[in-house]
Structure 1
Amino acid sequence: MLNLAISIIPILLLIWMMTKKNALPSYIALPVTALIIGILQLIYFGTNGRLLTANIISGALSAITPISIIAGAILLNRTLSVSGCEDVIKQWLEGISKNQVGQLMIIGWAFAFMIEGASGFGTPAAIAAPILVGLGFNPLRVAMLALVMNSVPVSFGAVGTPTWFGLGNLGLSDAELLHVGSLSAIMHTAAAIVIPVIALTFIVSWQQIRRNIIFIQLSIWSCTLPYVWLAQWNYEFPALIGGAIGLTLSILFARYNIGLEKKETTVTENTVKPLAFKQIFRAMAPTLLLIVILIVTRIKQLGLKGMLNDATPMWNFHLGFADLHISQALIIHINQILGTDTAWAYKTLYVPALIPFFLVVFVSIPFLKMNRHQVTTVFIDTASRIKTPFIALVGALIMVKFMMIGGDHSPIMTTGNAFAALLGKNWQYCAAYLGALGAFFSGSATVSNLTFGAIQQSIAHTVGLPETIILALQSVGGAMGNMVCINNIIAVSAILGIANKEGYIIKRTVIPMALYGVIVAIVSIFL
Structure 2
Amino acid sequence: MEFLNFVLAVSPIVLVLAGILLLKKPAMKVAPVALAWTVLLAFTYFNITGLAFKENVAVIDALLWKGIKEGLKIVFMVFGAFVILNTLKRTGAIEDVKNTVARVSGQDRRVQLIIVGLMVPIFLEGAAGAGAPAAIAAPFLVALGFDPITAIAVALLGDATPCSWGGAGLTTINGGASLVEAGISTNALNSAMVGRIHMFGALIIPFIMVAMAFGRKGFKGIIPYLCYAGVTTGGVMFLLSNFVGPEVTSMGTGLIAILLSVLFVKVVPIKTPEEYKYQAPKNVKQRYGAFRAMSPYIYMLILLPVVRYGVPAIWPKTGFAFLCTFGYIFWVDCVIFICGLLGAATLHVKKDELFEIFRVTGGNVLPVMITMGSLLVMAYIMQSGTTGMMSLIAGDIAALAGMMYPAAAVLIGSLGSFVTGTGLGSNIMFAGMHTEAAAALGMNPITVFAGQNAGASLGNLICPNNTVAACATVGEVGNESKVMKRTLAAFAIVLCVYMVLCMVYTLVLFPNFGM
TM-score by length of structure 2 reads: 0.73
Give a deviation string over 1:26-78, Cα, whole Å, max 9, x none.
Answer: 53245324422431378554123344444444454444554444444334444
Q: Helix, strand or coil: the match of 2:144?
A: helix
Pick the aligned partner of 1:413 from 388, 391, 402: 391
Q: Does 1:124 align with 2:99?
A: no
In 2, the alpha carbon distance for the partners of 1:476 and 1:361 equals: 33
Change (3 A) 1:501 1:449: closer
In 2, the alpha carbon distance for the partners of 1:364 and 1:221 equals: 35
In 1, the alpha carbon distance for the partners of 2:435 and 2:467 equals: 30
Q: Does 1:477 align with 2:455?
A: yes
**1:414 CA displacement:** 3.0
Contact kept, 8 Å, 1:113 with 1:124, in 2: the verdict is no
In 2, the alpha carbon distance for the partners of 1:167 and 1:39 equals: 36
Residue 249 of structure 1 aligns to which amino acid in structure 2?
L
Q: Does 1:154 align with 2:153?
A: no
Residue range with higher mean Cα deviation, 283-292 or 450-459? 450-459
Residue 131 of structure 1 aligns to which amino acid in structure 2?
L
Change (3 A) 1:228 1:298: farther
Instruction: Determine the structure 2 residue equivalent to 1:16.
Output: 15
**1:516 CA displacement:** 1.0
Residue 263 of structure 2 aligns to which amino acid in structure 1?
L
**1:508 CA displacement:** 6.5
Q: Does 1:357 align with 2:336?
A: yes
Contact kept, 8 Å, 1:109 with 1:150, in 2: the verdict is no
**1:466 CA displacement:** 5.4
Query: Structure 2 matches for 1:292-331, cutoff 5 A?
Result: 292-299=302-309, 303-304=313-314, 306=316, 309=319, 329=322
Q: Please list every run of 5 or more consecutive structure 1 residues that lacks an aligned counterpart in the other structure.
A: 134-138, 312-328, 333-344
Change (3 A) 1:438 1:146: same
Residue 363 of structure 2 aligns to which amino acid in structure 1?
S
Query: Structure 2 matches for 1:99-138, cutoff 5 A?
Result: 99=108, 101-111=110-120, 113-114=122-123, 119-129=132-142, 131-133=144-146
Change (3 A) 1:411 1:85: same
Q: Helix, strand or coil: the match of 1:401?
A: helix
Contact kept, 8 Å, 2:410 with 2:453, in 1: the verdict is yes
Q: Does 1:215 align with 2:225?
A: yes
Instruction: Determine the structure 1 residue equivalent to 2:297.
Output: 287
Contact kept, 8 Å, 2:233 with 2:253, in 1: the verdict is yes
Q: Helix, strand or coil: the match of 2:133?
A: coil
Instruction: Determine the structure 2 residue equivalent to 1:260.
Output: 270
Give a deviation string over 1:65-122, Cα, whole Å, max 9, x none.
Answer: 5444444433444444444433311122234533454444344444565566662345
Query: Structure 2 matches for 1:12-411, cutoff 5 A?
Result: 12-20=11-19, 21-22=22-23, 23=25, 25=27, 26-40=30-44, 45-47=49-51, 48-49=55-56, 50-95=58-103, 96-99=105-108, 101-111=110-120, 113-114=122-123, 119-129=132-142, 131-133=144-146, 139=147, 143=149, 147=153, 150-156=156-162, 160=166, 164=170, 172=178, 183-202=193-212, 209=219, 211-231=221-241, 238-256=249-267, 258=268, 260-261=270-271, 264-268=273-277, 279-299=289-309, 303-304=313-314, 306=316, 309=319, 329=322, 332=325, 346=327, 351-354=331-334, 356-406=335-385, 410-411=388-389
Residue 309 of structure 2 aligns to which amino acid in structure 1?
I
Q: Helix, strand or coil: the match of 1:46?
A: coil
- Per residue, is there more helix in 1 or in 2? 2
Change (3 A) 1:8 1:184: farther
Cα RMSD after superposing both structures: 4.7
In 2, the alpha carbon distance for the partners of 1:302 and 1:284 equals: 28
Q: Please list every run of 5 or more consecutive structure 2 residues that lacks an aligned counterpart in the other structure.
A: 511-515
Residue 383 of structure 1 aligns to which amino acid in structure 2?
G
**1:428 CA displacement:** 1.8
**1:247 CA displacement:** 2.9
Pick the aligned partner of 2:496 from 518, 521, 526: 518
Change (3 A) 1:155 1:225: same
Residue range with higher mean Cα deviation, 222-231 or 371-380? 222-231
Change (3 A) 1:377 1:495: same
**1:9 CA displacement:** 0.9
Contact kept, 8 Å, 2:116 with 2:141, in 1: the verdict is yes
Residue range with higher mean Cα deviation, 23-32 or 431-440? 431-440
Contact kept, 8 Å, 1:214 with 1:259, in 2: the verdict is no
Instruction: Determine the structure 1 residue equivalent to 2:408.
Output: 430
**1:280 CA displacement:** 0.4
Change (3 A) 1:244 1:283: farther
**1:287 CA displacement:** 1.9
Contact kept, 8 Å, 1:98 with 1:266, in 2: the verdict is no
In 1, the alpha carbon distance for the partners of 2:489 and 2:46 equals: 41
Residue range with higher mean Cα deviation, 188-197 or 485-494? 485-494
Change (3 A) 1:220 1:78: farther
Residue 159 of structure 2 aligns to which amino acid in structure 1?
P
Change (3 A) 1:450 1:386: farther
Instruction: Determine the structure 1 residue equivalent to 2:513.
Output: none
Residue 301 of structure 2 aligns to which amino acid in structure 1?
I
**1:190 CA displacement:** 0.9
Change (3 A) 1:70 1:253: same
Give a deviation string over 1:143-176, Cα, whole Å, max 9, x none.
Answer: 5586257424335469936984799689757996
In 2, the alpha carbon distance for the partners of 1:93 and 1:77 equals: 16
In 1, the alpha carbon distance for the partners of 2:300 and 2:213 equals: 32
Change (3 A) 1:417 1:157: closer
Change (3 A) 1:215 1:368: same
Contact kept, 8 Å, 1:449 with 1:474, in 2: the verdict is no
**1:511 CA displacement:** 4.4
Change (3 A) 1:405 1:123: same
**1:370 CA displacement:** 0.9
Contact kept, 8 Å, 1:31 with 1:395, in 2: the verdict is yes
Contact kept, 8 Å, 1:27 with 1:389, in 2: the verdict is no
Query: Structure 2 matches for 1:498-513, cutoff 5 A?
Result: 510-513=488-491
In 1, the alpha carbon distance for the partners of 2:76 and 2:480 equals: 32
Give a deviation string over 1:294-337, Cα, whole Å, max 9, x none.
Answer: 222333797236376365xxxxxxxxxxxxxxxxx4864xxxxx
Contact kept, 8 Å, 2:312 with 2:319, in 1: the verdict is no
Change (3 A) 1:131 1:474: farther
Q: Say how many residue pairs are matched.
A: 481
Change (3 A) 1:428 1:375: same
